[in-house]
Structure 1
Amino acid sequence: MTGTLLHQNFKDILDDALIEEIEAIGKLTTYKEGDIIIDINQHLSHIPLLLDGNIKILREDSEGNELLIYFLEAGETCTMSLTCCTGKSKSKIRAVAERDSTLMMIPVQYMQNWFHTNDSWRNFILESYQVRFDEMLETIDNIAFMKMDERLYKYLINKAELHGSSTVNVKHQEIAEDLHTSRVVVSRLLKQLENKNKIKLNRGKIDMI
């Protein structure tokens, strides 16, 4: 099963020999929805390859409030953890399982060696940095230029696309934490979106219209 997931998600990204090496040295790990995979200030000895599930990457301010930076999907890695591993610094992000997830954890030393010896790995890492950089720029733009109701609606659309469903199972408090605002504001704006026939509110879930 592990090999199937690894080949399924990375066969068009990494060469066959490297995939076989990852299967040999990697550590398979599974996490339940809501589990913390990487925490802030954690020393990282492994980097994650996401085989199945979704992960949200969060930052935290000095008061402990969280802000959603981006989501990871199967076939991706967390470039912010790569940076910490390369620089031997503590993690600056928190990675939380958005739903039940399966990862292959790779020891740091292999990541560094492959970057210099394997073209497919080097291209994968560089492209991952570019994707994450673009997403973080988009996040900054959203915070700086979009109104909260626009950010909220975009957040819901992204959630729905991520799970491949028109129904988003999420609590108002979780949305507030991800968008770094209050639950009261989220509830008010959700009601406004419902009045505009953009969503339908239900207990514990939101239907996109």
Structure 2
Amino acid sequence: MLKYLSNYLTLAGRFFKPKKAFWRINQNIRSRELRVIDADGKQIGVLSVQEALKKAAEAELDLVEIAPAAKPPVAKIIDFAKFRYQQEKKEKESRRKEKKGSEQKEVWLTPFMGESDYNVRLERVKEFLGEGNKVRIVVRFTGPQMSHREFGYQMAEKVKSDTQDIAGIDQAPKFLGRQLMMVLTPVKQKVTPEVSS
């Protein structure tokens, strides 16, 4: 029995897709009264479904129920194809932003690296933070360098001070094996209005 159930669940997962957004339009709207908004975004008021359908027909547009949970439900007089396209575009954009901002990037440093190498890595850190990603700073130690752990903390402190205006500390510097790790998170910058004299 269990064997058949697991096969069914795999088949069900393969063939059944999650539901997409669903809007009731025109005659499929079930409510008796609706709060109606016209194509320009102006609120018409609470109307019966028949009156709302009549107004939509006069404008040669569709009546779309956009907030069915509201009391009374909210419907808008719009071109449904255009509305659906805009909603799908918004959804796709939000998924893209969510995916982009959730990444964690990693930048490797050494405790005794040269100034030019450090500046290149620092620019990469600033670029990642500017894109809205978290950045893990890893200071790698090799062999005899492990006896000078304080230089790793100095390197982490240097990165922290060089990025203090655009980043905050998500995880303080700590050793894991032969590596010192620290996580920086981007900080939203406040826009200050200029004072004209």
Q: TM-score range by the shorter chain?
A: under 0.3
Greater fraction helix: 1
TM-score (norm 1): 0.23
TM-score (norm 2): 0.24
Q: Which has the larger radius of gyration?
A: 2
